Amino acid sequence: MAMDKPTNTASISKTWTIAGIILSGLAWYISNGLNGDFWYLMWLAPVPVLLLSLKTSARQAFIISFAAYLIGRLSWFSYLLTVATLVPAIIFTLLLPLVFALIILICRWCILKLNAWYTIFAFPVFFTVFEYAVIKFSADGTAASIAYTQLNCVPFIQVAAIAGILGITFMLTFIPSAITLAWYYRTGKIKVRYIGGVTIILVAAAFLYGVIRINNFTPKSHIKAGLAVVDESLHTNSDHPNFEKEKQVAIAYAALVKPLTAQGAQVVLFPERVIGMSRPWADTITRILSDAAKQNHVYIITGYTNQKNAIERNSALVIDADGNVILDYNKAHLVVGLERQFTPGTTPGIFKLNGVQSGLAVCKDLDFQDYIKQYSDNKPGILYVPAWDFVVDDWLHCRMAILRSVENGFSQVRAARRGRLTINDQFGRVTSEASCANDKQAILVGDVSTQQINTFYTRFGNWLGVVCLLAAVGFILLASLYQNRD
C-alpha cells in the first residue's frame, strides 16, 4: 500500500504537530479516566490526530497517533498496576496505542485514496471492528471499550439497546470522524453537504431515540431490595478459611438482615466472596444465613468462597424466605491471575423471587456481554450481582455492569466490596447508590423495577460488529481498486 502521499495538504509545522498530540492526548486522558466526568471530550479527542494524519506522511501519522493515544491510556496505568501487575500493565498500555496507530493508518489510506464523503465511516468502521475482535477473543471481554466513558450520558447510551456496546463505540468514533472530514473537505460543497446531512441524521436519531426510550416507559411493579457490606477488616480474605472466623463474618452479615427488612427489603444482597465455606462446616455457615432469611421472611443472596468440594469455585447462594437454598451459582468469568485457584462455572443463574423471574451473576461475568445475553433467553426482570472491586475503579466497574441492563432490558442490583452498592433501572439510570470504597460498612435500600424490556440487541446480538467487518472489507477492496488505477 502506498500510504505516504497525502493530497490537498499544506506543510504542518512541528508546533502544530506537538500541539495536536498534546490536545488529543489530554482529551483522551481526561475522558478515559475511571469516573466518567468528562465523557464529552471523547467526542473530540481523535479530531487533531485524524486531521494531522491527512496532512502528514504515513510514518509521521503513525508516530503522532501512537504518541497521542499513549498519553490517553496513561490514565489507566496506576489502575492496571493494581489489578494486573507491572509487566501486563506496560504491555496493555503500549499495545492499544499501537493498534490505534494502525487503525489511523488504514483510515488515512482509505480517505486519501477514495477522496469521498462516505469515508466519514472509515474510522468508526475500523475502530468498531477492532473492539468487536477484542470482545470476542479477549480474556477481559469488553473491559477496554471506550464506550464505557459515556455511561453518564444516559440518552446517548440507549443505542446499546439496538446494537449493544458496539453501537456506542461506533457513534463515539463517528462524531469526531465527521468533524474531521467536514473540515478536511470544507472547500467541496457537495461533500460537506452530504457529511453534514448524514451526521445530523445519525446523531439526532441516536439522541432522540434515547430520550424517547427513557421517557416512554412507566414501571408497572417494584420490589424493595436491601444491600449491605460489613467493614472490610472483618473479611478473612483467606484461601484457607477458618471456621470460627468465617462464622463470625456470617453472624455479622446475618445481623444486617433485620434492619434492612425493617425498611421494607424483600431481598438482601451481600457482595462477592464475603464468606468462606469448606466441606466440614459449610452447612453450619449456610444455616446462619438460612435462619436469618426465615426469621425475617426475606430472600438472601450472597457471594462466597466455595471449598465444599475438591474443585474450588467462586460462588453465590440464593436463599428463599423459607430458608431454603434455591440456587448455588458458580462464577463463569474469573479474573486472570487473581482467581487462578478457581474453576469457572458454565451455566447462567436463573431463579424466581416472589414470582419475579430473576438472574444471578458475579462481578466479572458482567464484563462479557455475550454471556449475559444468555440470561435474556429467560427474560429476567432483575439481575443480582455480588461483586468485589478495587476502590479506584468503583465508578467504572459498576457502570460497566450497568450497561448490560441497557443492552438486555433488565434492572440490576449490585453490591461490591471496596466499591459501590447500586440499584439501576432498565435504562442504566442509577436510582439508589452508596459507597464502601472507604472500606467501612455500608447499607442501601431502594426500589427496583421488575419489568423486563425486550430489546433489538437481545434478538440479534452484535449484528453491528458483523456489518462493520463487512464494511471494512469493502473499504479495503474499494481503496485497492483505486490504488490499482494509479
pLDDT at 11: 59
Query: How is the chain split into domains, by residue range?
Result: 14-216+461-484, 222-452
Per-residue pLDDT of 319-374, as tens digits, reads: 999 999 999 999 999 998 889 999 999 999 999 999 999 999 999 999 999 999 99
The owner of cell 498534546 is 22
pLDDT at 240: 79
Q: How many CA atoms lie within 13 A of 32 on its CB side?
A: 29
Packed helices 58-73 and 86-114: angle between N→C axes, nearest 10 degrees: 140
Per-residue pLDDT of 445-476, as tens digits, reads: 999 999 999 999 999 999 999 999 999 999 99
pLDDT at 82: 86
- Between 404 and 481, the higher pLDDT residue: 404
pLDDT at 3: 52
Spatial contact of 128 and 169, defined as CB atoms under 8 Å apart = yes
pLDDT at 483: 57
pLDDT at 354: 94
Tell me the pLDDT band of 313, cut-offs 50, 70 and 90: very high
The CA distances from residue 479 to 7, 12, 116, 469, 473, in Å, are: 15, 25, 11, 16, 10
CA–CA separation, 486 vs 204, rounded Å?
A: 39
User: Model pTM?
Assistant: 0.94
Beta bridge partners of 223: 448
**Other CB atoms within 10 A of residue 297 CB:** 12
pLDDT at 66: 98
pLDDT at 485: 43
Question: What b-and-e string marks burial along 69-80, b requiring 16 or more CB atoms within 10 Å of the CB?
Answer: bbbbbebbeebb
Beta bridge partners of 423: 413, 432
- Measuring CA to CA, which residue among 241, 308, 324, 227 is closest to residue 272? 227
The CA distances from residue 83 to 53, 88, 250, 336, in Å, are: 34, 9, 27, 9
Mean pLDDT across the chain, nearest whole number?
A: 95
pLDDT at 318: 98
pLDDT at 85: 84
* Fold of the 222-452 domain: Nitrilase/N-carbamoyl-D-aminoacid amidohydrolase (3.60.110)
Residue 237 has pLDDT above 50, yes or no: yes
pLDDT at 469: 98
Residue 394 has pLDDT above 60, yes or no: yes
pLDDT at 83: 85
Residue 4 has pLDDT above 60, yes or no: no
pLDDT at 337: 86
Spatial contact of 80 and 390, defined as CB atoms under 8 Å apart = no
Per-residue pLDDT of 167-223, as tens digits, reads: 999 999 999 999 999 999 999 999 999 999 999 999 999 999 999 999 998 888 999
Spatial contact of 278 and 307, defined as CB atoms under 8 Å apart = yes
The CA distances from residue 343 to 258, 302, 322, 325, in Å, are: 34, 19, 30, 21
Q: Name the DSSP class of 438.
A: T
pLDDT at 106: 98
Beta bridge partners of 225: 267, 446
- Measuring CA to CA, which residue among 426, 422, 410, 429 is closest to residue 446? 422
pLDDT at 63: 97
Q: What is the residue type of 182? A: A
Question: What share of the chain has pLDDT > 90, as a percent?
Answer: 90
Q: Name the DSSP class of 172.
A: H
Tell me the pLDDT band of 6, cut-offs 50, 70 and 90: low
Taking each continuous run of H as one helix and of E as one strand, the counts in the chain are 15, 13
